[in-house]
C-alpha cells in the first residue's frame, strides 16, 4: 500500500491485533486449519480493498498537484541530480 494518507501502518497494526485475536486459540492449541485462515482473509480483504482504493485516489490527487516539470519548482534542487 502507498504511504499516502499514512493509513498503511495504522491499518497494519489494527489488522495484526485482530488477526492475533482470531488465531490465538487455534495456534496455541495446534488446531489451526485452512478454514481459520480463510476466515481471516474474508474479514480483512474488504478493508484492504477500500484502503487501497482511497490511497490510489489520494495519489492521483497529489500527482495532479505536482508540477509538470522539475524546472517549475526548486524542490528538486536538494535531490541528487537536481538543479
Domain count, the chain: 1
Average of per-residue pLDDT values in the chain? 81
For the chain, what percent of residues have pLDDT higher than 90?
A: 36
Q: Which pTM was predicted?
A: 0.58
Is 44 within a domain? Answer: yes
* Cα–Cα dist 14/23, whole Å: 14
Is 83 within a domain? Answer: no
**Residue-range definition of the domain harbouring residue 62:** 4-78
- Backbone φ, ψ for residue 64 (5° rounding): -65, -30
Is 74 within a domain? Answer: yes
* Average pLDDT rounded to a whole number, residues 63-71: 74
Cβ atoms of residues 11 and 47 within 8 Å: yes
**Which cell numbers hold the place of 66?**
505536482
Question: DSSP states of 32-65 as a string?
Answer: --HHHHHHHHHHHHHHHHHHHHHHHHHHHHHHHH
Amino acid at each position: 500500500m502507498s504511504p499516502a494518507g499514512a493509513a498503511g501502518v495504522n491499518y497494519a497494526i489494527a489488522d495484526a491485533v485482530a488477526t492475533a485475536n482470531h488465531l490465538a486459540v487455534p495456534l496455541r492449541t495446534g488446531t489451526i486449519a485452512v478454514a481459520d485462515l480463510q476466515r481471516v482473509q474474508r474479514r480483512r480483504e474488504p478493508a484492504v480493498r477500500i484502503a487501497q482504493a482511497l490511497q490510489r485516489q489520494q495519489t492521483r490527487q497529489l500527482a495532479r498537484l505536482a508540477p509538470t516539470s522539475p524546472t517549475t519548482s526548486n524542490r528538486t534542487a536538494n535531490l541528487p541530480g537536481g538543479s
